[in-house]
Amino acid sequence: MKFNDDIRATTSGADETHKLGRSLAALAEPGDIICLYGDLGAGKTAFTKGFCHGLGYNPDQVNSPTFTLIHEYRGKTLPVFHFDAYRIKNVAEALEIGTEDYLYGEGVCLIEWPQRIMELIPPEAVHLYIEKVSADVRSFLLTRNPKKPAN
């Protein structure tokens, strides 16, 4: 992604989270990996809907890949691979489903619950930390420097 300094933002509601995703999609480049951290309901999927929308995809067709593990969106400016690693038991299982092919491909990978497969995440990945401040307010930090998340 094309940014130098950490990016911080606060949103009030799903619409603003969607807009933030759309805005940050303008920074996307082939091969980007964005690790998404946040509790259940923090806004990871809402952000991803906006991000995909920013790359030309229909946000109504973007949803959480909780049970399928990976959703692929192809045919626009950049392919997007949306992972939900929450149900992945271990790195071996992640390798079995071909995770490395996506991580080292030309698309953009957005990975929810990346801490489950951190051994596979390349050091050049960027990290988006989402904190639920209140029922509608979310705090975002996009950084190149991973930290140990609480979740």
For residue 147, pLDDT beyond 80: no
In a domain, 106, yes or no: yes
% of the chain at pLDDT higher than 90: 74
In a domain, 99, yes or no: yes
- Nearest-angstrom CA–CA distance, 137 and 126: 22
Cα distances (angstroms) measured from residue 140 to each of 12, 56, 63, 106, 108: 11, 23, 20, 26, 19
Total structural domains in the chain? 1
For residue 149, pLDDT beyond 60: no
Please check whether residue 121 is in contact with residue 33, taking contact to mean a CB–CB distance below 8 angstroms.
Answer: yes
Strands (E), the chain: 7-12, 33-37, 70-73, 80-84, 108-112, 126-132, 137-143
Per the listing, tokens 């997007």 go with: 80
pLDDT, tens digit, 9 for 90 and up, residues 49-65: 999 999 999 998 998 87
**Domain range for 85:** 30-134
For residue 67, pLDDT beyond 80: no
CATH number of the domain to which 63 belongs: 3.40.50.300
In a domain, 3, yes or no: no
In a domain, 114, yes or no: yes
**In the 8-state DSSP scheme, what is residue 78?**
S
- Nearest-angstrom CA–CA distance, 107 and 121: 15
Sort strands 137-143 and 70-73 into parallel, antiparallel or unpaired.
unpaired
In a domain, 13, yes or no: no
For residue 151, pLDDT beyond 50: no
In a domain, 5, yes or no: no
Within a 13 Å sphere around the CA of 72, how many CA atoms are in the beta-carbon half? 11
Q: Which residue has the higher pLDDT, 22 or 75?
A: 22
pLDDT band, very low/low/confident/very high, at 70 (cuts 50, 70, 90): confident
Q: At what angle do helices 44-54 and 14-25 cross, to 10 degrees?
A: 40
Mean confidence (pLDDT) of the chain: 91
For residue 9, pLDDT beyond 90: yes
Please check whether residue 73 is in contact with residue 80, taking contact to mean a CB–CB distance below 8 angstroms.
Answer: yes
